[in-house]
Each structure stands twice: as structure tokens, then as C-alpha cells.
């Protein structure tokens, strides 16, 4: 069940307006809980998902810098918002608008919770070419350069990362 052996298809799985995909992980990103809708859409069963790294649904079109940003924020207790293209077990894809927050016990981070819903389709039209460019930069020049590109892109728009993402989703 490796993400590496999967061939991405061009088939998009569309979420319904009221689909909320929930998962929880430990501090390393290993899945500890997922709801029914997660399993339905990703086409994995619970046994396949539990204890797997969350990258089991990673799509190769996702830039590394998006996950770096997510982990940098959530590991210090800040929440992350982002658009994520995920891959189902058979290689199909689905876009989500994601929120990840830390779970605490006695003031200590013990894991993370992610809630996702249908991504705004207009937002995806902006995000898709941006991610394509970031992946291309990462392949040729590495993630430091893709991060620099992303921050320049935001600076030119006069927006913070959160402002861009939340305004695109209309959240
Ligand atoms: C709560 C939580 C939810 C996550 N959800 C996803 C997700 O839906 N898709 C995804 O590709 N990565 C998700 N990640 C990030 C993965 O842990 C991982 O960083 C990412 O897939 C990149 O993996 P890689 O560095 O092995 O390529 C999530 C992480 C956490 C903590």
C-alpha cells in the first residue's frame, strides 16, 4: 500500500457541500482516526488507514512547501488552512479545503485533527497553476526556492498566506 507505486489518474472525485472529512493523527502524522466519509472518498478501509502515515493519500501534484508550512504551524500550536489535492487508493484525485489543529493533553501536543470540506472551485483555478509552479521549482531548484516564490507571490498580492487562502475559499 505504498503511495509511490500509485499512478495518478485524471479522474476527479467531487465532494458534496455537506461532506466533512475528518482524521486525527499522532504527533508524527500517523492516522489514529478517520470518519466514514474519509474512507468512502479515499477508497481505503479503516484497517488500511489506521497507523498509516497520512501521506498515504498524498498526491504528487502537491508541493512539498505546502506541507512544510502546515507542519511548521501546527507543531507550534497554530492552525493551518490550505487547499490540498489528495489521491484515492486507485489514483483518482479530490480537492479539499483543509483545517488542521493540534490536540492537547495537559498543555502538551499529543496529536492533530484535520477537518476538510469541499474546496471552492474558483479557488482551485488560482491554486492549481500556483502549485504547478511550486512543484516545478522544487523539482529543479528545491524547496527553499519554492518557498521564496510563494512568499514573493503573496507579497505581490499584499496578502498573508492565511488571507489568501481564506479569501479564496470565501471562508
Ligand atoms: C492531521 C493531519 C492531516 C493531514 N492530512 C493530509 C492530507 O489530507 N493529505 C496529505 O497529503 N497530507 C496530509 N497531511 C500531511 C502528511 O502528514 C505529510 O506531511 C504529507 O502528506 C507529505 O508527506 P511526505 O513528506 O512523505 O511527502 C496531514 C497531516 C496531519 C497532521
Q: In the prediction, which pLDDT does 127 show? A: 98
- Average pLDDT per block of 10 residues along the chain, 171 residues long: 71 96 98 98 97 97 98 98 97 98 98 98 97 98 98 97 97 75
CA angle in degrees (0–180, nearest 5) for 20-27-95: 30
State if residue 93 touches ligand 1 by the CB under 6 angstroms criterion: no
Using CA positions, which residue lies closest to atom 5 of ligand 1?
54
State if residue 23 touches ligand 1 by the CB under 6 angstroms criterion: yes
Nearest to 117 by CA among 59, 171, 51, 58: 171
Q: In the prediction, which pLDDT does 2 show? A: 47
Q: In the prediction, which pLDDT does 5 show? A: 59
State if residue 97 touches ligand 1 by the CB under 6 angstroms criterion: no
Q: Closest ligand 1 atom to the C-alpha of 21?
A: 8
State if residue 88 touches ligand 1 by the CB under 6 angstroms criterion: no
Spatial distance between the Cα atoms of 154 and 163, rounded to a whole number of angstroms: 9
Q: In the prediction, which pLDDT does 6 show? A: 80
Using CA positions, which residue lies closest to atom 4 of ligand 1?
54
State if residue 55 touches ligand 1 by the CB under 6 angstroms criterion: yes
State if residue 135 touches ligand 1 by the CB under 6 angstroms criterion: no
The pTM for the full model equals: 0.96
Q: Closest ligand 1 atom to the C-alpha of 116?
A: 8
Q: Closest ligand 1 atom to the C-alpha of 112?
A: 1
Amino acid at each position: 500500500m505504498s503511495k509511490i507505486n500509485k499512478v495518478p489518474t485524471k479522474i476527479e472525485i467531487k465532494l458534496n457541500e455537506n461532506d466533512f472529512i475528518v482524521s486525527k493523527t499522532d504527533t508524527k502524522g500517523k492516522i489514529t482516526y478517520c470518519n466514514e466519509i474519509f474512507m468512502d472518498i479515499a477508497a481505503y478501509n479503516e484497517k488500511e488507514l489506521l497507523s498509516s502515515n497520512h501521506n498515504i493519500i498524498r498526491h504528487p501534484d502537491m508541493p512539498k512547501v505546502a506541507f512544510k508550512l502546515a507542519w511548521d504551524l501546527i507543531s507550534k500550536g497554530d492552525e493551518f488552512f490550505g487547499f490540498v489535492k489528495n489521491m484515492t487508493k486507485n489514483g483518482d484525485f479530490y480537492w479539499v479545503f483543509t483545517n488542521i489543529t493540534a490536540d492537547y493533553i495537559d498543555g502538551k501536543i499529543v496529536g492533530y485533527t484535520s477537518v476538510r470540506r469541499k474546496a471552492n472551485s474558483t479557488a482551485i483555478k488560482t491554486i492549481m497553476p500556483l502549485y504547478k509552479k511550486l512543484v516545478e521549482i522544487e523539482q529543479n531548484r528545491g524547496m527553499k526556492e519554492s518557498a521564496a516564490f510563494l512568499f514573493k507571490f503573496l507579497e505581490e498580492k499584499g496578502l498573508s498566506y492565511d488571507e489568501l487562502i481564506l479569501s479564496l475559499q470565501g471562508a
